[in-house]
Amino acid sequence: MDLQPTRLSTGPSAGIEAGPPVITTPAGSTIQPVEGGGYQVCDAAQHCLRTPTLWQAQQLVQWAEVHHQPLLNDPAHVMSP
């Protein structure tokens, strides 16, 4: 199973149907369920990624907010066990 996040285009209409946010952080990041499975993670600037699990989505948000980086900076190390 591929555990790497899938890059999405930026902006709220990133070409996927997303449900209401599961999580909205004080910094403006959101995690939303995606139709068909997985989660869309967006930072406050609407840079978005898609992950298969909620745990990975939370790790991406944590990485981006702790390091003050947009989600488009590849945090591939976050996915390492």
- pLDDT in the model for residue 18: 59
- pLDDT in the model for residue 73: 66
Tens digit of pLDDT for each residue in 14-49? 445 556 777 899 999 999 999 899 999 999 999 999
Residue 71 identity (one-letter amino acid): L
**Domain limits, the chain:** 6-74
67 CB burial (10 A radius; 0-12, 13-18, 19+) = exposed
